[in-house]
Amino acid sequence: MAEEYSGKKFRDKKFSGKKFPGKTVNNGIAMGKVMVLRKDQEQIKRTGIENPEQEIDRLKSAVNAAKQQIAVLYAKAVEEVGESGAAIFEIHQMMLEDENYQDAVCYVIRTEMVNAEYAAAKTGVWFAERFAGMEDAYMQARGADIKDISMRLVRNLSGQGEADFSEMEPSIIVADDLSPSDTIQMAKKKILAFVTVHGSTNSHTAILARMMSIPALIGVPVDLNEIHTGMTAIVDGAAGEVVFAPTEIQCSEAEQEIKNEEEKLRLLRELKGKKNETSDGRTINIYANIGSVSDVDDVLENDAGGIGLFRSEFLYLGRDNFPSEEEQFQAYKQVVQKMGQKKVIIRTLDIGADKQADYFQLGKEENPALGYRAIRICLKQPAIFKTQLRALLRAAVYGNLSIMYPMIISEEEVKQIHAIVEEVAQGLRQAQMPYRIPEQGIMIETPAAVMISDELAELVDFFSIGTNDLTQYTLAIDRQNQQLADFYHPHHKAILRMIKMVVDNAHKCGKWAGICGELGADTELTQEFVNMGVDELSVAPSMILKVREKVRAM
Ligand code: PEP
Ligand code: MG
């Protein structure tokens, strides 16, 4: 075991029982082994060497190990997504075997007299830049692949090996920061908690932590070079602290606290099957937010009335190319079928800003949150949008599916979307494929949409208020910027008045309005939302019963 090495044991002693503060993203307490995720670049040190042939031998072993790893990944991908989806690993294998590539790494080792890690990383960057400069979009996208295999070599050389999340034991993930694409690749059931040095409480990674119902802390001032994979830690979300290498007393206290939490959960579960009804007879729908098909089990387990937000963009993350129509159709169909007659609101692609996938080639932006994202991409690149809409219209035949469009700012956008939906429906009709045009609503997450919500209500079937972005755009505060966390006030009067205005405008037009941003789960506001007449709250699955408890106590 890692702790047995005397050096590490010494380091663990240094930490013994030491508490590090952090900002709470999600409550709860967890104890377990740490898994440290370092950004690839952090490990690459340029070290002078004396024997280049020795480095080249190390490189050859790393290449052989990489070939085996990729072969395993290929076989797994064929099983999970079929041969066409797995083809990317064949490309990786070819690149790895390419003599030009290997010669280039050896050239750097010999001429610069440097370590193989540095040479592999440098060669990867150099090749990637050359690919990026090519005319052909397909070739441009290969830049990410060459970087990927170079980083695989670096990991093998530095002894870190394959970052295979599926095989990991249940762990507390400790990292500098995590992106949504990092987290999407992890086996959710194996993650006990998240601890990051940077990050923001309003980021999508934070949202994922809440969805997974695990304790999570950000802004923890720990030096990642001083902790190591395999050491024990306790993460206490409610107290906002993490303890590395805890003492025996701390461990037994944590065990007791974990038991208390389980008891609270057991009591909450007694609310399953009960109505979301106040003592004076008012009701509200409590739905769930999800990011993948596998989240549906949690939704049913927690007795949600439906799914109020399926962030479909997560189907596009953590992969190398667009999900096909068929792949999306299968995912949407599975969700609606699993949910039976219950409503499932699927939001169309909201990529961009912090949710990046290299193959979209969105390019660098000065202000990504105010940039090319969500519906803007769909309207400018309708081919991507139409593929998703075809999958959605086809899946709508199998259950109670609704579609929702993100980041709307004008009536023109809604009219344009409806025209595209009509065109897609016509295509399906001509191809004699079963389809249904379902209920269609929009997210209200820009101040512009709030201000014209009376007119927008005429055009759509429902509103769902995205308070995460609405707060960011109304208060002019980047939700990703942790430095501004003290200014990000989702309870700000302006936000609450906007919610009221949207709900009133929807009702005047006979439409319904819900909240699917994180504020919907804020039990300090549940009473206010019910009083405002909000029709639905869509929250992380783990929050459903807590919100129900609050409603019933009113
Ligand atoms: C929101 O902005 O409140 C929302 C629900 O969308 P997302 O958090 O995915 O941007
Ligand atoms: Mg949003």
CA of 297 to the centre of ligand 1 (A): 22
Mutate to test the pocket of ligand 1, among 205, 349, 445 (most ligand atoms within 8 A of CB): 445
- N- to C-terminal Cα distance for the chain? 52
CA of 467 to the centre of ligand 1 (A): 7
CATH (domain of 298): 3.20.20.60
Q: Which domain holds residue 324?
A: 278-552
Whether residue 142 is contained in a domain is answered as no
Q: pLDDT, tens digit, for every residue of 315-363?
A: 999 888 899 999 999 999 999 999 999 999 999 999 988 888 888 988 8
C-alpha span between 54 and 409 (Å, rounded): 60
- pLDDT recorded at residue 543: 95
- pLDDT recorded at residue 364: 84
Whether residue 440 is contained in a domain is answered as yes
Whether residue 206 is contained in a domain is answered as no
- How many residues are listed for the chain in this entry? 554
- pLDDT recorded at residue 435: 98
- pLDDT recorded at residue 2: 32
Q: Is the CB of 520 within 6 Å of ligand 1?
A: no
Please tell me whether residue 354 adopts helix, strand or coil conformation: coil
- pLDDT recorded at residue 137: 65
Whether residue 170 is contained in a domain is answered as no
C-alpha span between 258 and 499 (Å, rounded): 37
Q: pLDDT, tens digit, for every residue of 210-238?
A: 888 899 999 999 988 888 888 999 999 99
* For the CA of 310, the nearest ligand: 1
Q: What is the count of structural domains for the chain?
A: 1
- The answer to whether residues 538 and 521 touch, using CB atoms and an 8 Å cutoff, is no
**What DSSP letter does each residue of 439-477 carry, written as one string?**
EEEEEE-SHHHHHTHHHHHHH-SEEEE-HHHHHHHHHT-
Task: List helix spans (H) across 270-402.
Answer: 296-301, 325-338, 375-380, 382-395
Whether residue 228 is contained in a domain is answered as no
Q: Is the CB of 350 within 6 Å of ligand 1?
A: yes
Q: Is the CB of 515 within 6 Å of ligand 1?
A: no
Whether residue 482 is contained in a domain is answered as yes
Which residues are marked as active site? 204, 516
Whether residue 203 is contained in a domain is answered as no
Q: Is the CB of 313 within 6 Å of ligand 1?
A: no
Whether residue 104 is contained in a domain is answered as no
C-alpha span between 215 and 529 (Å, rounded): 26
Q: pLDDT means per 10 residues in the chain (554 residues)?
A: 39 76 93 84 76 92 88 72 69 87 94 92 86 74 77 80 66 86 73 90 80 90 87 95 94 95 92 95 96 93 97 91 95 97 97 88 88 96 97 98 98 98 98 98 98 98 97 94 87 97 98 97 97 97 96 95
Q: Which DSSP helix (H) or strand (E) runs through 250? A: helix 248-269
